[in-house]
Amino acid sequence: MNAEFCTCVDSPIGKLMLAGTPTALTALEFLRHKPAPPHLAALPVRDEPFREAVRQLEAYFDGRLRDFDLPLAPSGTPFQMAVWEALRRIPYGTVITYGELARRVDRPAAFRAAGAACGRNPIAVIIPCHRVVGGAGDLHGFGGGLDVKEQLLQLEGSWPIKPKKR
């Protein structure tokens, strides 16, 4: 990760740390139950580069923003990058399964790997890994905690999952 500075912000889901470069956001970490990762904690604190990200996060949590429009620069393997791009295309208020996510990156048998890529998502909330659920519609791992995942899905109106009409 090539972050140059960071800032911390309070949110309805707890304290968040943003990290980035002068041109892009590279990380959004949950600090609710853990300290900042050492590689981010060592960065100089600067608020100015994150003003737009903070503005958009506030609008999202207030229910006024559905789609983030920020320059992002996550760092990962080609497969992870493909998964994270697929996550960005999941519409607000929608959930899909890990199996569906794997199909969307043309690796239908790789649902566990798709789940692992979700777990390594460096820019949570903005790259919406919270919109992915288990095959039975149940919640699975989330860096901010399952209660936060549920809170984000409730904010977006997609939890509890509505039964599909047959």
Residues marked as catalytic: 129
| Cα dist from 35 to 10, 41, 47, 114, 156, whole Å | 14, 8, 19, 26, 28
Q: How many CB atoms lie within 10 A of CB 62?
A: 10
**Which amino acid, residue 164?**
K
Pairwise CA distance, residues 28 & 6, whole Å:
10
Pairwise CA distance, residues 131 & 84, whole Å:
12
Specify whether the CB–CB gap between 54 and 22 falls below 8 A. Answer: no
Residue labelled with tokens 């956001």: 25
Tokens of 132: 């992915």
Specify whether the CB–CB gap between 18 and 28 falls below 8 A. Answer: yes
